[in-house]
A and B are shown apart, each in its own frame.
Chain A
């Protein structure tokens, strides 16, 4: 019973978070398209390229992917091999999912932790982009944030499968 309470309160935190960052990522994607197209048009028609599009694209990609991950996991969009597991009973499937999602959660906890370590490194080294001199650390922080939400989605999935195992 307590498990369901935990899942419920986790969801009430995670769901709005996923909604916010996925909208942010969608906005970034649209901007990325416009900037790339503008760069191409300006360069080939007016011979005036936008400077720094490449590094902007790189920064935008970090936000896009890091924020997209949790949304992808949230709508169960992560690719896995189902041909073997789909033959098992739903209880065995729940047990297997429980195991694999626990490992996934543990692995991404480490990645989140290391991304936070990386923010500190970037802050210390004062790394900035080559042309526009934009600091790198905020984008590493975005990665850490995206990775954190993704980890929470994985944790929620793990707990949901766990409750399925326990309930039966």
Chain B
């Protein structure tokens, strides 16, 4: 058997394992190990298992993962999600669909301190859904705006999705973070326009709330300065090259820790919860990284990624058609696999294709992560939808998906825009 055949069989077996419900990281590692054994013998394969777990776990680059997750956890326990929602609500609540607008705005704000879409959706869901119910919002619009707004979490930095892409594709995490900023803000703008149009057409979807006085509006800002501070600390530090991503994350986590302490929101229990939650999420991501590393060794000696890249380039198709096929594939895969896992799974395979076709690696990372976000709310399984379903038990699944449809259309427009104008993603990192 040629190495190439072994490579393809390996990928086939990997997908069988995945769909049988094997933990993703272990499945990737196991297939990588078995394939390596087949091609290079047991001794070499055991050699991989001797060194790779240690070198993977002891990587300085990866320390950015727990520190950013910890920053998000402290912000959550400090009650920032509620404050943010309250602030945006004071400013926009009197408009038609104002509460839905507030949800998207608050999601974008929370995304600036949190790196995960699912966490953002869950957090905002518990805050925003009861409010929207109280003011008689259409349940489809209410749940749809939370599920969609939550996805902004992995585009606006810090972003776990961009971190794992940067690690596998060997791209600068700082540059990726800067690249994600404008697309992330634009995404929020697209959602806001969507809600605005929907409530123009049918005002019953989101009745306006009471108008807040300017005094209340200004007053509501006092609790949200920390978001701005943390965000500019992290992004500014990276932009001016003052911090490495790990340092930015460490300083950010410490800032959030002090803030939560000062607000007396961080008792012993909340502290323990923040730490354990971070521990669990870090291990969850790093075991997949380990699997991806071992699988990567196997795929490299099987030459599968290079052959796929050569074949696709050899077809001499327009590169945007190839990209479209890749994106559709990602959308299908992304509906069943969580974003970081999917990025770790597909980057080794598609990254060579993208670079051979002449796409910018940073831009490609943004597009991949953006596609994962869309997959999170795509029927029939989008992960965020299940998260929202968990928060809003009385709303049928069908209603949530109905509510999401307009946001999916906004997603398609937004992705098309990012593809048509790579400068939107590359402007900030190129200024560095």
Contact = CB atoms under 8 A, between A and B. Distances in A.
Q: Do A and B come from one complex?
A: yes
B20 A99 contact: yes
Interface string B54-80: 100111101100110010000000000
B187 interface: no
B26 interface: yes
Nearest to B47: A114
Interface in A83-120: 83-85, 93, 96-97, 99-100, 103-104, 107-108, 110-111, 114-115, 117-118
Interface of A: 22, 25-26, 29-30, 32-37, 39-41, 44, 54, 57-62, 64-69, 71-73, 75, 77-85, 93, 96-97, 99-100, 103-104, 107-108, 110-111, 114-115, 117-118, 121, 139-140, 143, 147
Given A26-B272, A33-B67, A81-B336, A68 B21 contact: no
A32 B67 contact: yes
Contact of B53 (A25, A54, A115): A115
Contacts of A44: 242
Contacts of A33: 67, 70, 250, 253-254, 257
Given A32-B63, A36-B67, A139-B58, A77 B21 contact: no
Contact of A75 (B280, B282, B338): B280
Interface residues of B, number: 58
Contacts of B17: 100, 103
Contacts of A118: 50-51, 54
B347 interface: no
B276 interface: yes
Contacts of A108: 26
A100 B280 contact: no
B49 A65 contact: no
B22 A100 contact: yes
A65 B253 contact: no
Nearest to B287: A69
Contact of A107 (B29, B51, B336): B29
A99 B19 CA distance: 13
A64 B66 CA distance: 9
A49 B429 CA distance: 27
Given A78-B287, A103-B30, A107-B33, A37 B253 contact: yes
Contacts of B337: 79, 81
Given A37-B251, A118-B51, A32 B66 contact: yes
Contacts of B280: 68, 71-72, 75, 77
B283 A39 contact: no
B286 interface: yes
B279 interface: yes
B18 interface: yes
Nearest to B24: A79
A72 B251 CA distance: 26
